[in-house]
Each structure stands twice: as structure tokens, then as C-alpha cells.
Copies of this chain bind each other. A is one copy, B any other.
Amino acid sequence: MKYSPLLDELIRELQVLPGVGPKSAQRMAFQLLERERPRGQRLARVLERALTEIGHCQQCRTFTENELCEICANPKRAQKRQLCIVESPADVAAIEQTHLYSGRYFVLMGHLSPLDGIGPRELGLDLLESRLQSEAYDEVILATNPTIEGDATAFFIANLARQAGVTVTRIAHGVPVGGELELVDGTTLSHSLAGRRPLE
């Protein structure tokens, strides 16, 4: 025990945060105690509330404290008849920032990973399947990460979509815009070559 029992406990519990070890936890505890008590109290209250109230959207599984997230609750979003499949809520935010997509999303909250016990059920693929059957989509856009697991998950979902008679597309993978060819890794470059398109 280095400090008073309560301070030691605070430093220990702060280490639940990713990337926070004993040293940074100590620095955080001291900063809060010395200078940020009111904001620290607010953090404690928001954390308590968020962890109690935030669940998953019943349609797309993203994080929300309501029954439906804002996108699923917006009837304009349904008109497009497009469904974009992503791995995490952060991916939704990234695609929204492009302002190029106005359909709906389905958030897997992960990817297929049998070794970690994450199968189709854990990703809500039964819910996805019934949505694909009951709602009339024109296109399913697969935007899972370009990793082995992400690709496997995309492949699995492509089959579900085809069974439901929906067109399936995958977002393009290739050389990032502004990137230099000689700095791009081989796999990306292979994807980029294989995915070449005729110039119009």
C-alpha cells in the first residue's frame, strides 16, 4: 500500500481503462484530486449513468440509450433501401462523416472469431437475416475491416444477402488517396491491382 486505502483503490480501478497503467492512473488520480474535483464528479456520474442506460439499438445494434438509434429512427434513412454492414459504432461515425451515404446500418459489434467464441449469434446475424428477409433492400454494402476476420465475416454475410435475393457490394480496398505507391504494403497494392476499373 503506497497511499491511503481509498486513494490506492482509485488508482487500481482507473487501470480498467485501456492503455492506463499504474503510473498514468496515479497521475490521473492526483490531477483529479488537486485540480478537477467538480469535473471528476461529473465524470463519475456520467459514467454510472452511461453504463446503466446505454444498450444496443434494437434494429442495428449500435450503442444508444434509446430503443432505436437516431439513424434507425429516421424514416428518410429507410427510403434508400441500402444497408451498410460495419464492425463497430466508430465505423458508422467514420462513414457518416463522408456525407456520401444516406441508407441504414447494421453494426456487428465485432467480427467472426470462432477461437474467441464469437460466432454468427454473437454478431446478431439472426437479426440481420430476418431483417434482410422482411425488409425490402436493394443493396447490402459490406464495410467490414479488410482483415482476415473482417473478410471472412463479409463472405458469410454475402451468402445471407444472396439467399434473401439482395445485391451485395464490398467497399473498395486499395491505395489510400494521397498515399505514395512505394510506401503502400504489398497486400494493399495487390488488392488495388485486382480491383482496377476501366477509365471512363
List chain B residues, Cβ under 8 A from A42.
Answer: 13, 16
From B4, B31, B47, A70 is in contact (CB under 8 Å) with B4
A66 to B5 Cα, complex, angstroms: 10
List chain B residues, Cβ under 8 A from A13.
Answer: 39, 42-43, 46-47
A26 to B44 Cα, complex, angstroms: 16
List chain B residues, Cβ under 8 A from A64.
Answer: 3-4, 7
Tell me, rounded to whole Å, the shortest Cβ–Cβ distance linking A56 to chain B. 9
CB <8 Å contact, B65 and A6: yes
CB <8 Å contact, A10 and B47: yes
Chain A: interface residue total (CB-CB under 8 A): 54
CB <8 Å contact, A54 and B19: no
In the complex, A193 has a CB within 8 A of chain B: no
* Given A13-B43, A32-B51; 16 other pairs, CB 8 A cutoff: A2-B93, A3-B93, A5-B65, A6-B49, A7-B54, A7-B89, A10-B46, A13-B47, A17-B28, A18-B31, A19-B27, A30-B88, A32-B47, A33-B50, A40-B47, A44-B45
